[in-house]
Amino acid sequence: MKQYRLVIAASAFALLAACSSVGNVDPSALIQSGQLATQAATLSDTDVRALSDKSCAQLDSENKIAAPNSKYQKRLDKIAAQLGDNINGTPVNYKVYLTKDVNAWAMANGCVRVYSGLMDMMNDSEVRGVVGHEMGHVALGHTKKAMQVAYATSAVRSVASSTGGVAAALSGSQLGEFSEKLINAQFSQAQESAADDYSFDLQKKKKLDPSGLVTAFNKLAQADGGKSSILSSHPASPARAQHIQQRIASNQ
């Protein structure tokens, strides 16, 4: 972890040094940016929660949310009741964004958002598998690591004061950029596999059929990708579908 912080700090200062040679840049602003970049590698759980709260609120304000009595929210409520109301003890709130985009994501504050485009493509079992996968990224700490990367890349350009905490250090435009980076974060193959297994295990624990994960992967593999799509940030592959199919066959 110490080495990771040093790498981020060194990269930030190298970039800032290069920028300072281009034009008139306030040295104090450069120092502040380096401090924020270093801070990104040491985000506490409180920091992560605060950033998640602000990011989720920002994205909610930018998207049309399905009404509580809509067909989409009723479907998601049914799925939510099956998956549970918390992630590692953190209460979960589920909402649907009305958009043709195909996506779903979860944040460390329990914010789970599913796009109507994904729900139109999949049945409830498949949506449940995908949502369980997104919850897995949170439960296994993947989203916190993605947040560190997203915050670091935003912090490099920040000249705001951080006296109000890391969340307060981001301007409105930076928060929007940060939120987009977060929901489109690229996870490693190992992280994707671990999140798949989390969804499988969660459904088995609740005596649910996890086969929707397999057909969901197959549908995603055949679909056309788009901006802010789960297809680009969570690449589907026959190998992932086969892994889950093997677990179903072996009942493990």
Predicted local confidence at residue 157, as pLDDT? 47
Name the token pair of 252: 């493990």
Residues 104/229, Cβ–Cβ less than 8 Å = no
Rounded percentage of the chain residues whose pLDDT exceeds 90:
51
For residues 100-126, give the mean pLDDT: 96
| pLDDT, tens digit (0-9, with 9 covering 90-100), for 170-191 | 777 878 888 888 888 889 989 9
Number of C-beta neighbours around residue 163 at 10 A: 7
Whether the pLDDT of residue 29 is over 50: the answer is: no
Question: What residues does each domain of the chain span?
Answer: 43-250
Model-level pTM?
A: 0.79
- Strands 90-91 and 93-97, by their bridges, are unpaired
Per-residue burial over 203-237, b if 16 or more Cβ lie within 10 Å, else e, is: beeeebebbbbbbbbebbeebeeeebbbbebbbbe
Q: How confident is the model at residue 57 (pLDDT cuts 50, 70, 90)?
A: very high
Predicted local confidence at residue 176, as pLDDT? 84
Q: How confident is the model at residue 103 (pLDDT cuts 50, 70, 90)?
A: very high
Whether the pLDDT of residue 21 is over 90: the answer is: no
State the Cα–Cα distance between residues 25 and 34, nearest whole angstrom: 14
Rounded percentage of the chain residues whose pLDDT exceeds 70:
73
Residues 167/155, Cβ–Cβ less than 8 Å = no
Per-residue burial over 52-86, b if 16 or more Cβ lie within 10 Å, else e, is: bbbbbebbeeebeebeeeeebbebbeebbebbeee
Catalytic residue among 126, 134, 177, 192: 134
Q: Is 134 a catalytic residue?
A: yes
Q: How confident is the model at residue 137 (pLDDT cuts 50, 70, 90)?
A: very high
Among 57, 77, 81, CA closest to 67: 77
Q: How confident is the model at residue 36 (pLDDT cuts 50, 70, 90)?
A: low
Minimum mean pLDDT among 103-117, 158-172, 194-208: which range? 158-172
For residues 240-246, give the mean pLDDT: 90
Among 29, 104, 99, CA closest to 66: 99
Residues 159/29, Cβ–Cβ less than 8 Å = yes
Comparison of pLDDT for 53 and 148, the residue scoring more: 53
For residues 218-227, give the mean pLDDT: 69
State the Cα–Cα distance between residues 110 and 51, nearest whole angstrom: 12
The strand ranges marked E within the chain are 86-87, 90-91, 93-97, 104-106, 111-115
Q: Distance between the two ends of the chain, CA-based, in angstroms?
A: 33
Whether the pLDDT of residue 17 is over 60: the answer is: no
Number of C-beta neighbours around residue 188 at 10 A: 10
Predicted local confidence at residue 121, as pLDDT? 95
CA dist 189 → 3, 103, 141, 202 (Å): 23, 18, 15, 20
Whether the pLDDT of residue 226 is over 80: the answer is: no
